Structure 1
Amino acid sequence: MKHPVDVHVGKRVRHRRWTLGMTQQQLAEKVGIKFQQIQKYETGMNRVSASRLWDIAEALDVSVGFFFEGMEEEAADRPADPTSPMVDLLSDKEALELVRSYYAIPENQRRRLFELARVLSEAA
Structure 2
Amino acid sequence: MAHKVDVHVGKRIRQRRWLTGMTQQKLAELVGIKFQQIQKYETGANRVSASRLWDIADALDVTVAYFFDGLEQGEASAATQDSAVPVDLLSDKEAMDLIRSYYAIPQNQRRRLFELARVLSDVA
TM-based fold match above 0.5: yes
| 1:72 aligned counterpart, secondary structure | coil
Work out whether 1:110 is the aligned partner of 2:115: no
Q: Where do 1:1-124 residues align within 5 Å?
A: 1-78=1-78, 87-124=87-124
Structure 1 runs (4+) greater than 4 angstroms displaced: none
Aligned mates of 1:113, 1:66 — CA distance in 2? 28
Give the Cα separation in 2 of the matches to 1:43 and 1:36.
11
Indicate the residue corresponding to 1:83 in structure 2: none
Q: Measure how far apart 1:78 and its partner are.
A: 5.0
2:78 and 2:87 in contact (8 A); partners too? no
Q: 1:5-59 deviations in whole A, cap 9, x for unaligned? A: 1111001100111111100000001111110110010011111111111111111
- Normalising by structure 2, we get a TM-score of 0.89
- SS of the equivalent of 1:70 reads coil
Q: Give the percent of matched residue pairs that are identical in Structure 1 and Structure 2.
A: 76
Deviation per residue, 1:72-114 (Å, 9 max, x gap) = 12243355xxxxxx62122111111111111111111111111
CA contact (8 A) 2:89 2:95 kept: yes
Q: Distance in 1 between matches of 2:75 and 2:87?
A: 14
Distance 2:112 2:61 in 1: 30
Question: Matched residues in 2 for 1:78 and 1:115: separation?
Answer: 27
TM-score (norm 1): 0.89
Structure 1 unaligned segments of length 5 or more: list them: 80-85
Larger displacement relative to structure 2 (100-109 or 9-18): 100-109
The alignment's C-alpha RMSD in Å is: 1.3
Q: Do the aligned residues in 1 keep the contact of 2:11 with 2:42 (CA within 8 Å)?
A: yes
